[in-house]
Structure 1
Amino acid sequence: MKKLILIALAFVALQATAQEHKKSHKKGEHHKRMAMAELSANEIATLQTKKMTLILDLNESQQKDIQKINLKNAAERKAHMAERKAKKEAGTMQKPTAEERFDMQNKMLDKKIATKAEMKKILNSDQYEKWQKMHAKMGPKGKHKKKRG
């Protein structure tokens, strides 16, 4: 009987430490997102452009063009996040209606189409193909799918 109780206690202790490890892992991801949120739109765009330069082997004119696209997108994201944060703090944040969700989804897809067209103009065929594969890996949920794969 004592052995059974000891085994059960050991099992419970093992479960507790395993859950603690999972929580600490998620904290690291949260820290990374918070650090990115503190960067300016220009800094985020610069980092994204440099990552793309490494992956796609961009020349200088391509880097300048992509920097502009990344800066525009980062500024829009920053403005949207600031707007949401202000609504959340003011307590006026509400779930969007079906029509508002449709409009948001429609605008997002229009932006993606426009970005894709701009990238096609800037990149050569091999670079564009790599860029498409890079974005296809991210899937609809972005970063979450990328980390699993």
Structure 2
Amino acid sequence: MKKLILIALVSMVAFQVSAQNSKERPNRERSPRMDKFQDLTPEEMATMQTKKMTLHLGLNESQQKEIQKINLENAIYRKAKMEARIAQRENGTMAKPTKEERLKMMNERLDKQIAMKAKMKKILNDEQFAKWEKQQQEMNRKREDMPKRGNK
């Protein structure tokens, strides 16, 4: 009887330890999503994004050229940010941002979104803009629904 109780107790402890380990995020250098875009140049990313928008919004030639320029600017900016984060992670200098730094980053992101919306309103017609805006709202909703990184 003592042996059964001991075996049950040991198995419960082992189960608890394995359950805790499965909750932890494995320590990886890069996520698979980052790997997918890591090899692309900003020009390739911009071209891919422009083609997707052309299919979704039905862009004409002049709209494609204007949006290609915007997408290239954004891709260069995102690529630089991504490489800076990777460098910080590899150097071990990545620290949790302070309240002021988070506020600055959020304001910077919102300012970029406002500028992007204004540019798109100039380029797209009313129907295309409404479709684009709806797509942006859907992407934001999905982003908010995703679990936060670092939470266990």
Instruction: Tell me the distance in 1 between the aligned counterparts of 2:138 and 2:144.
Output: 9
Deviation larger for 135-144 or 79-88: 135-144
Give the aligned partner of residue 24 of structure 2: none
Q: Percent identity?
A: 55
Larger proportion of helix? 1
Residue pairs, 1:33-112, within 5 angstroms: 33-112=34-113
Give the aligned partner of residue 125 of structure 2: 124
* Higher RCO (CA 8 Å, separation ≥ 6 residues): 2
Q: Provide runs of 4+ in structure 1 moved above 2 Å.
A: 30-33, 140-145
Q: TM-score, normalised by structure 1?
A: 0.73
Q: TM-score, normalised by structure 2?
A: 0.71
Instruction: Tell me the distance in 1 between the aligned counterparts of 2:75 and 2:55.
Output: 19
Aligned residues: 116
Gaps of 5+ in 2: 1-30, 147-152
Shift of 1:131: 0.2
Cα deviation, 1:5-32, whole Å, max 9, x if unaligned, reads xxxxxxxxxxxxxxxxxxxxxxxxx545
Larger Rg, first or second structure (1 or 2): 2
Instruction: Tell me the distance in 1 between the aligned counterparts of 2:45 and 2:55.
Output: 16
SS of the aligned residue for 2:55 comes to: helix
Gaps of 5+ in 1: 1-29
